[in-house]
Chain A
Amino acid sequence: MSKKNLAIIGIGEVPTGTYPNRSRWDIIYETCIAAVRDAGIDKNDVEGVVTVAPQAQPQISAEISFGKIPEELGLKGCREVCICNAGGASTSNCLRLAEQYIESGQAKIVLIPHVTVHSTIPMPDLINFFAKAGIDLQWEYPYGTTYNGIIAMMTRRYMHDSGTTEEEMASVVVSLRKWAAMDENSIFYGKEVPPVEKILSSGMVSSPLHKRECNVLADGGGAMVVASAEIAKKMGVPAAYKLGESSRYFSAFTTTRTNEELTNGYRDATGEALADAGVSKEDINLWNVYLAYPVGHTMFMEAAGLCEPGQAGKVFMEGHTWPGGKMPWATIGDATGRGHTGSGVSMATYIETARQMMGKAGERQVPDAKYAFQNTAGGSGMNFIATVWGRE
């Protein structure tokens, strides 16, 4: 079995949405207290705090970098504090840092918070950040490239190579929104799930990408409490155990990577993470994929060998990934369904993985979920981190 020694034992989250009156520190208090209480520990048991770097929010990033969270929350037992930034892959790296603290004996219990409030960032700053992050200022940006634009190009090439139709691409959104509609922390909670026709009738943003295939920026936050596997077992609380992991780095920019490089990386890292966990892809009960746009989901499904090449769109269209389907998929609906909270979607996805392994996912609970696969990716798709989690 796995050599990994990490378990998520507590989770806390606030709903994702537009809440300009909810301050960043409000969110940190609320999510951290919820996670500590969920773990059933005392606040002073937290010996390390590793925070997911908020994107485009320099003030709070600086405050967190300089150690304000343990002081603010009165974590008297805290010995280690740091912030970690790898864009959307930050949370994976926070977990690894926590693992290292635990392994080296510096901390037995580590708190991992994240916060993002987009709605109070002045529009020019927001545009400035998201137009230029992950897009090269010399070779891409001057042409008027945007995030939606680079993903649109990726999507067109994928559709061209695989023969996937626009209806099939829109079906990915349908699947994500079905889960999101059942997730009380989603921006689309309780909202009507748009059918394929409605998605395709939304305005074209960057062809072939429609408005409803793009992400809505939102505010949100979450926190996890992690400990060694032994401590989790000894405490006897429901927990998600990390079983396997592997990763690939591709390139900082989309111009300098091909779809083939991506899919090869997805395939290899996934295979290695499964092998590391000592399970096969057939053992996985939940594919908790975070790739931010529909095209990532189809490319990954094919790369991981979960369907025949070029058939992923059909799998989404036929409902196999929907609630009740044979392949539960991205059960918070990824950024498209949840709302995009910068580096926070990776946190929300880990919290969901933990929730599913803990059996706390309510309406969305995948029955008898024993193993979950989860990935993260950062920047404009710079890397891919594959992890496997189990309930024991």
Chain B
Amino acid sequence: MTQTQRPIPVMQPWTRDFWKATKQGKLLIQHCDNCNSNIFFPKKVCPECWSDHLDWQEASGKATVYTFTTMLDMVEPKFMGDLPYVIAMVDLKEGIRMTTRIVNCNPDDVEIGMNVEVVFEEVSPECSLPMFQPADETLRLASPDSEDGEAVAAESETGMSPDAYQTIIYEIGGNNDAVCTITLNRPDKYNAINRRMAAELIDAFRRVRDEASVGVVVLAGAGEKAFCTGGDLEIFPSLAEHQNSLNWLSHEGLDVQRAISSCEKVVICKINGHCLAGGLEVALACDLLYVKESAKMGTTEINMGVLPGWGGTARLPRSMPIFRAREIIFSGRKDYTAREMYDMGLLTRVFKDDEFEAQFEKVVNNIASKKPVALRMGKEIMARSADGCDMETALAVERNGIQWLTYAPDIQKMMDQFRAAPDQLTQSQKKSNIASDAT
């Protein structure tokens, strides 16, 4: 959780002791010595009897959840980095009710009546915020100092599983479950990327690495209007803060690109409708780009005085002749047709609108019929080579990669057959070549 930007409680002279105690990990309750009542919010005089004989008693820190909400949207920029987070009212054993956060657990596990206990989160050198975590240790996320705690916490912080995705759809299908389709699913927002979607994309592309049957990932946009038009406008107010803006580029932005480009499956981007700005940049991180003829493309960032910042300014010149890449970035045009882009050297293929679905399916089925391990190795060898190492290195990577493949267990299983009956190899190879040409 980001601590630097969180607002500091606005203290009163009579509440300073409360906040001081939070630094020692103590939760204090104001107590009236005259009428014996516990007081919250703390006051200058007792609200029951107006006595000023007030002191502090240390609370047990145990409480139950009275009610709660998982905050998912429409919060101030300074809290956006925390989304999703759980705000709750909890009833302390000592009879007072506080607003707080429930932390260190999956938001889906929080419920009314749940037992919780206090933990403190630092917001400044002067004070920490009392927050609450589940009393039941099995509901807590792994503690950050345990061996693999970091990884677990990072995974579960998003609290994500494909069932819980709100902004994308994750489906595995095709022959032998070889295709995973990840669909950007905010069609009424032109599939624009908000923080949630960025987090879900990162999760999905990391998740698909572990799907052994999958060789191909299709990245598509829901609806007819757009593949994706980039960052959601609702993000923009938050970018007024330097730190938020930097994080949007270097956390969400870079992580989405990395999750796609370092995904060992072949990522095929299916583009129809508008594919603009950050949407195009996400496409550039994919391996193959198939585009519907009526699609419109471009990078519009320069119209706002900035530049494509999700890899576009770096990747476009590496994806096509540089004199053409420059025009795309400098012009800010958002009406490049698919044919224009293809002629300029960017795309894999453009299909006519009425043939698009059928043609695309053909391409995907063909590639998905290849061995995942070969696709993976091919992706890696080509990536290293295209990154611009010297030719001898590239050839060494290729040679050794292919030799490795040849001795990969499932290829060897085939080899055993062929060792036994040598001319089967050439016959079977011929057959699969013909099959591949036919699709």
Contacts and interface: CB of A to CB of B under 8 A. Distances in A.
B34 interface: no
Contact of A156 (B101, B112, B123): B112
B100 A207 contact: no
A143 B76 contact: no
Interface string B173-210: 00000000000000000000000000000000000000
B88 interface: yes
A335 to B, nearest CB: 15
Given A156-B68, A205-B73, A255-B99, A142 B6 contact: yes
B156 interface: no
B290 interface: no
A141 B7 contact: yes
A160 B73 contact: no
B10 A137 contact: yes
Interface string A240-282: 0000000000000111101000000000000000000000000
A204 interface: yes
Interface of B is mostly: mixed
B249 interface: no
A138 B101 contact: no
Interface residues of B, number: 40
Interface of A: 123-124, 127, 131, 136-146, 148-149, 152-154, 156-157, 160, 203-209, 211, 214, 253-256, 258
B144 interface: no
B15 A140 contact: no
Nearest to B9: A138
B97 A255 contact: yes
A154 B97 CA distance: 14
Nearest to A135: B99
A146 B9 contact: no
Interface in B228-282: 237, 240
A137 B8 CA distance: 9
13 contacts: A124-B237, A127-B237, A136-B41, A137-B10, A138-B15, A141-B7, A141-B9, A144-B76, A148-B74, A156-B112, A203-B166, A206-B73, A206-B87
Contacts of A258: 97
A211 B101 CA distance: 22
A171 to B, nearest CB: 20
A205 B89 contact: no
B307 interface: no
A265 B131 CA distance: 31
A308 B71 CA distance: 32
Contacts of A131: 76
Contacts of A160: 67, 112
Contacts of B237: 123-124, 127
Task: Give the interface centre of A141, A144, A148, A207 by most chain B CB atoms within 10 Å.
Answer: A144
Contacts of A143: 87, 99-101, 129, 131
Contacts of B89: 153, 254-255
B310 interface: no
A142 B7 contact: yes
A178 B30 CA distance: 49
B360 to A, nearest CB: 28
A144 B71 CA distance: 9
Nearest to A206: B69
B115 interface: no
Contacts of B41: 136, 138-139, 253, 255-256
Contacts of B101: 143-144
Contact of A153 (B8, B67, B72): B67
A163 B261 CA distance: 48
Contact of B72 (A127, A139, A205): A205
Contact of A146 (B66, B75, B98): B75
A124 B240 contact: yes
Contacts of A156: 67-69, 112
Nearest to A157: B67
A204 B9 contact: no
B79 interface: yes
Given A153-B88, A154-B67, A205 B74 contact: yes
A149 B166 contact: no
B11 interface: yes
A125 to B, nearest CB: 12
A74 to B, nearest CB: 42
Contacts of A152: 69
Nearest to B70: A207
Nearest to A123: B237
Interface in B1-48: 6-12, 15, 40-41
Nearest to A257: B97
A57 to B, nearest CB: 20
A343 to B, nearest CB: 21
Nearest to A141: B7
A254 B8 CA distance: 20
Contacts of A255: 41, 89, 97-99
A146 B85 CA distance: 12
A254 B74 CA distance: 19
A204 B166 contact: yes
